[in-house]
Amino acid sequence: MENENSEFSLIVYGTRGSLPAPSNRDFDSHEFGGSTTCYLIKYKDHLIAVDTGSGAMRLGDDLMRQYEAFRTGNGKLVIAHTHGHWDHIQGFPFFVPAYIKGNQIAIYGNPKKVMTSQLGDSVKHSDVPLVRGVHEIQMNPENGVFPVALKWLQSQIAFPESLDGLRTAVPGVEIAYKKVNHPQECYSYKFTVGEGKDRRTLVVLTDHEHDPELDRLTDYDKEIAEWLGDAHVIVMDGQYTPEEYARTKGFGHCVGQKAVLMVEEAMHYDADKKLYIGHHDPRHDDEFLRRYETDLQEQARDRGLDKNLSVCLLKELDEIKL
């Protein structure tokens, strides 16, 4: 059930996984988008970004244009990182609100401590959360990666040492998290607003690899389905087709057809669901993705799910109201 007047929504700033995929004369991506993973979740005046892939540049520009608070150094943003792979952080150096003095940006993510030796000699901390480490590596002129150091940014950037603070970091939004199956670990986030019949729940589950069996669910798949059980909107990785998965097993990504099976299982908990498949492969153009979307919709229809479940591929700049 979509609520056009809802104050709870998700705006898609990046649909791609692995690498940006801009259009050119041989490759068309303007329909599904070419930027890597970045979502904005809005609840009333509160803002949460999930990941800062290359789509974060446009997100930052929109925040500067739309909110006086960000222009005047009074903006507040929570960023929840699923993990530190480059396609999920690479837009941050171009995120203008982070350069404005006074803006407050709290960056949550993998709290696992990493040592200096893992970050390169130029990072002075001996023991920092991984989420901070990857940002420090990415913005560090000493290692030649980017000419501006993270510590030079004028906004107040905080890296809370634990993910627990995220649960209550945004007034009115309950946030839960779960570690999922991906190289170097990844987190899925669940955002809930309201209670009882007014409850609306969104889950972002990107960069997750299911059990390799594609036509049945294992106990681990069922555990993930339970996590998805109370969600009304699910944004899920579906980077590979079953044919591609034969050579991409272990890369940490999901096959769209298996995502549909897992969400079918999740419908036993609450049948009101919309599934949006994202993290599109950079080699998949619009024509490919349209075909893939039709395949997944036919699968849902063949399994008798289509009355309750809508299945779509994410498109850049989609606004999904909960």
Considering the complex, state which of residue 85 and residue 258 has its C-beta at the smaller distance from Zn ion: 85
Handedness of CA 59, 315, 206, 188 (dihedral sign): positive
CB of 96 to Zn ion, least distance (A): 23
- Angle (CA) 78 80 85, round 5°: 135
8 Å CB contact between 278 and 235: yes
Q: Does the protein bind Zn ion through residue 85 (CB under 5 A)?
A: yes
Considering the complex, state which of residue 187 and residue 292 has its C-beta at the smaller distance from Zn ion: 187
Task: Name residues contacting Zn ion, limited to 150-189 (CB under 5 A).
Answer: none
Q: Does the protein bind Zn ion through residue 87 (CB under 5 A)?
A: yes
Q: How many residues bind Zn ion (CB under 5 A)?
A: 4
Q: Does the protein bind Zn ion through residue 207 (CB under 5 A)?
A: yes
Considering the complex, state which of residue 87 and residue 209 has its C-beta at the smaller distance from Zn ion: 87
Structural tokens at position 36 = 């890597």
CB of 209 to Zn ion, least distance (A): 10
Q: Does the protein bind Zn ion through residue 208 (CB under 5 A)?
A: no
Interface stretch with Zn ion, choices 94-102, 103-111, 150-158, 203-211 (CB under 5 A) = 203-211
Quickly tell me which residue has 């690498």 as its tokens.
Answer: 19
Q: Does the protein bind Zn ion through residue 16 (CB under 5 A)?
A: no
Residue choice 14, 16, 17, 59 for contact with Zn ion (CB under 5 A): 17
Q: Which residue is nearest to Zn ion (CB)?
A: 85
User: Cβ neighbours of residue 265 under 8 Å, at least 6 residues apart?
Assistant: 217, 221, 222, 225
Considering the complex, state which of residue 37 and residue 155 has its C-beta at the smaller distance from Zn ion: 37
Considering the complex, state which of residue 85 and residue 274 has its C-beta at the smaller distance from Zn ion: 85
CB of 36 to Zn ion, least distance (A): 7
Identify the CA nearest to 281 among candidates 16, 14, 85: 16
The number of C-alpha atoms within 13 Å of 272 and in the hemisphere containing its C-beta is 12
Quickly tell me which residue has 């997750």 as its tokens.
Answer: 208
Quickly tell me which residue has 């901070």 as its tokens.
Answer: 132
Q: Does the protein bind Zn ion through residue 84 (CB under 5 A)?
A: no
DSSP secondary structure string for all residues of 203-262: EEE-S----S-SSS--HHHHHHHHHHTT-SEEEEE--B-HHHHHHHTTSS--BHHHHHHH
CB of 321 to Zn ion, least distance (A): 25
Structural tokens at position 3 = 């609520």
CB of 17 to Zn ion, least distance (A): 4
Interface stretch with Zn ion, choices 137-145, 194-202, 204-212, 292-300 (CB under 5 A) = 204-212
Q: Does the protein bind Zn ion through residue 209 (CB under 5 A)?
A: no
- Angle (CA) 235 236 239, round 5°: 135
Structural tokens at position 230 = 């109370």
Distance CA(75)–CA(50), nearest Å, equals 17
CB of 86 to Zn ion, least distance (A): 8
Binding site residues, Zn ion, CB under 5 A: 17, 85, 87, 207
